[in-house]
Amino acid sequence: MKNTINTRPGRWLLLAVILPLGSLFGEQGQLILRVFEDATQVALEGATVQIDSLDLTRATDASGRVIICDLPAGSYDVTVRYRGLPDTTQTVEVAAGEPTALPIRMGVDEEIFELTAFVDVFDAGPIIEARLADLPTARASRRPERVEVGASGAVTHSGILFAPELDFRAVLAVEARDAPGVIHLSDQQAASLSSLDADRLRYYPFNAA
């Protein structure tokens, strides 16, 4: 009789310990993010992924992915940063006991222009004005050291070359790998711009290294 009384509490105590642990592990989830540049669909390696509420920071791999395991189920604000692109913050719902996969698209913010008048000339378009301080692309751009036309060679990344002080004509351009700040243009691209004076141009890299 004494043995029966002593062993039952021990068995119930063991169950009481095991069940809460099983419940706790069941509330964990996994977050899988893939970060890429929206316009080109290029994966962004080395993007910084932050969850401030957990004091957690990770970096994406060569495929633009980051996997965060053992996250308590719930809602999180995830901030992604990549040099040359505006930061993005998204709210993510992590489900218990299963992976949550989410694509993160990064790109240039929408630009704000104001239509002020029309030019009364054949084939002319509207006059559009914008303050440079209101344009994220202009704020994040930099002045190139020089522009080379018809040059070829290895490049690090693509970007936009434009003339904000003139007419905002813009072309896609590439920056030399061995000479940062030197922008290469084809003859056709150069002909599309109002000026090739580096002092009047700005360069915005899509994916700055």
Q: Return all residues near 104 (Cβ < 8 A) that are at least 6 apart.
A: 33, 34, 35, 36, 47, 78, 80, 88, 90
The structure's pTM equals 0.46
- The model's pLDDT over 149-180, given as tens digits with 9 standing for 90+, comes to 875 554 544 788 888 777 767 787 888 777 88
Question: CB count, 10 Å around CB of 64?
Answer: 21
CA distance 39 to 135: 18
- The third-level CATH classification (topology) of the domain covering 2-106 is Immunoglobulin-like (2.60.40)
* pLDDT single digits (tens) 183-208: 888 888 888 888 888 888 888 887 54
Whole-number pLDDT of residue 188 = 81
Return the domain boundaries, the chain. Answer: 2-106, 114-205
The pLDDT tens digits of the residues spanning 43-76 come to 889 999 999 999 999 999 999 999 999 899 999 9
